[in-house]
Structure 1
Amino acid sequence: MEPYRNLSGQSGVVAYELGQDHIRVQFDNGRVYTYDYQSTGRSQVEQMKRLATAGRGLCSFISQVVGKHFAHRTSGAE
């Protein structure tokens, strides 16, 4: 996973991993969420990829737009 730059200094996102049709996002609680085209939507996943590489706005986008439309979640211990 790539460290999230967190340019705002207030994000709950710590790392991310880009895939062809998905993005995996690790939050500060250790949980990793996978968002893919099927569960989240292509345009939302592509926007999340742009925000992740920019290092700003990813956590807000997830909480305000994506919500619980994720494909998979791991617990913090995994």
Structure 2
Amino acid sequence: MERYANRNGNSGVAAYQMGATSILVQFTTCAVYEYTYASAGAGNIESMKSLAISGSGLCSFIKRHVNKRYSRKIR
């Protein structure tokens, strides 16, 4: 997984890993969730990828737009 830049300094996201149609997100609680095109929608996944790369706004986006629309909890 790639470390999330956390440019604002207060994110609940610690790391992420992108796939072609998915993104894994590790939160600061150590929980890891997989979000996919099928579970959260292609547009949301692509937005999440962009936010992950920018290092800002990913946790807020998840809370506002996809919340529990993950495909699985990995840990």
Same fold (TM over 0.5): yes
1:67 matched residue in structure 2 = 67
Unaligned runs of 5+ in 1: none
1:4 matched residue in structure 2 = 4
Q: CA deviation at 1:67?
A: 1.1
Report the aligned-residue RMSD: 0.5
Structure 1 residue identity aligned to 2:45: V
Structure 2 residue identity aligned to 1:10: N
1:22 aligns with 2:22: yes
Instruction: Give per-residue Cα distances to partners, 1:20-67, cap 9 Å, x unaligned.
Output: 000000001110000000000000000000000000000000001111
Paired positions, count: 75
1:47 matched residue in structure 2 = 47
Aligned counterparts of 2:57 and 2:32: Cα–Cα separation in 1: 17
Runs of 4+ displaced beyond 6 Å = none
Aligned counterparts of 1:10 and 1:74: Cα–Cα separation in 2: 23
Structure 1 residue identity aligned to 2:5: R
Aligned counterparts of 1:38 and 1:66: Cα–Cα separation in 2: 12
Unaligned runs of 5+ in 2: none
